[in-house]
Chain A
Amino acid sequence: MPPAGAATLLDVDIKSKDFRSASGRPQRALENLRLTLKRGEAGAVVGPSGCGKTTLLRIVAGLEKDFSGEVALPDHGRLGVVFQEPRLLPWRTVAENLRIAAPQATSMEVEALLDALGLSAHAAHFPGELSLGLARRVALARALAIQPDLLLLDEPLVSLDAVLSLELRERVARLINETHVTTLIVTHDLGEAIALADRIFILSPRPARMAAEIRIDAPRGRMTTEAAKAIEQEARSIIASLRSQ
């Protein structure tokens, strides 16, 4: 848990974000969306498919410039991003992919990271030789290798089998606890959000608005099963009321 009153690291205040449809009419993707994270906190954004979660993450990453509102990030802060698709360089090996993104990382650090994510055996493989689940883990390793000030994860654990997904969830939770990296995770899996986050942001269906924010006082490893159940029930009732609207 970061000390009380720690500096705000991420402050996102989006008034609106429109996409122009093929017919030329503007279509609203995001509306009145405010979220903040303090240094060392992990926030999870949950919302139905197609509501605008990836769009939100792209705005934070600086890839969408055409929106009204503001995003405050630390100057020169390093950004580690795991896109919804792995986006590895297919012509470079797994280890090279990491080293190209993080040239300052020592080979010891790279090895340790690959080991922590169960990728040691694949260091010399090309991405085309990996399964999608493995490639996703490489993308996660690459984002961690640059020792980011802010980690952005877009559904990092989908397309992994249930056991592996849970195992990797544990690993990410441990990494957040150990490195205190400020993290914003996008997911549509409520269980994932509860297991990883200090704060859960629930978005409405498209156009995405901030429907509710749930704070978790004893996050990740320190959470009791009862507390997790209570949070899940609270979140589910919020989501159900959004659907009935």
Chain B
Amino acid sequence: MIRLASFAAMILVWQAASYFADPRGLPGPAPVLLAIVDEAKSGSLFANLAVTLARVMAAFVLAMSLGSAIGYLMGRNRLADRWLDPWLVALLNLPALVIIVLAYIWAGLNEAAAIGAVAINKLPGAVVVVREGARALDPTLDEMAHVFRLPIKTRLRHIVLPQLAPYLAAATRSGLSLVWKIVLVVELLGRSNGVGFEINMAFQLFDVRLLLAYALPFVAIMLGVESFLVQPLERHASRWRGDSARRRY
């Protein structure tokens, strides 16, 4: 309810601001909505949204699976942690733009370079968070699994994954927003479709209406993914935490 009211207030502020501003610099909600409808009718809105969404998902899945594996390894194995840590720090501090440009130069202006560059940008963040989770794994449960000779699959599913779930959720949340922002840059620099490409077009035409018509639907999609996918999954994973203070045995 409060979320909805806050959202309505945002629209109102926008409407008010556009009333005083130059309509070319900041169009109001109604013209933007019209532009969205126009673009949707021509079909190009959905085509571009779909292309960008596919890139976001591909880069996200790649970065999360690789990052989780590396982070888990670094959290459990001190030697691996020592070896890989300098690489991690270097990658964390490499500007996104440098990675993107290098990827395009070395691998060419193609889809693999675009998705790879985004994934590499997201990778170190995922590694850091999952490593933190792997370090916090309960050693007493490891001992229990050892004496009961639980197979690897069982350990991962019933012991490791439930403990990592909050960390994976945190990495997902920060990851999705980061990935989609970088995907736009990648599209702007070297792709001929997608939301980022359209925003570049809008920039060259100085058309803020068109820019918002592409940016806002995508923000709405990411908001939907967050509240209808990430949050319910998180609630399901933490349903064992009763509402009172938990006891831990």
Contacts and interface: CB of A to CB of B under 8 A. Distances in A.
A85 interface: yes
Contacts of A83: 140, 143-144
Q: Is the interface of A mostly helix, strand, loop or mixed?
A: loop
A90 B246 CA distance: 9
A129 interface: yes
B249 A132 contact: yes
Interface string A125-161: 0111110100100000010001000000000000000
Interface in B148-168: 148-150, 154, 158-159, 162
A180 interface: no
Interface residues of A, number: 28
A90 B147 contact: no
A62 B149 CA distance: 11
B146 interface: yes
Contacts of A62: 146-147
A79 B141 contact: no
Given A100-B158, A128-B242, A87 B148 contact: no
A61 interface: yes
A92 B249 contact: no
A89 interface: yes
A89 B141 contact: yes
Contacts of A132: 247, 249
Contact of B144 (A87, A92, A127): A87
Given A90-B240, A92-B240, A79 B249 contact: no
A126 B240 contact: yes
Given A63-B146, A81-B148, A87-B249, A100 B140 contact: no
Interface of B: 140-141, 143-144, 146-150, 154, 158-159, 162, 237, 240-242, 246-249
Task: Give the 9 A-B residue pairs with the shortest CB-CB distance, closest first.
Answer: A86-B249, A91-B162, A91-B240, A128-B246, A126-B240, A87-B144, A81-B147, A135-B249, A101-B148
21 contacts: A62-B146, A79-B147, A79-B148, A79-B149, A80-B148, A81-B148, A89-B159, A89-B162, A90-B246, A90-B249, A91-B162, A92-B158, A92-B162, A92-B240, A100-B154, A103-B154, A126-B242, A127-B249, A128-B246, A132-B249, A146-B148
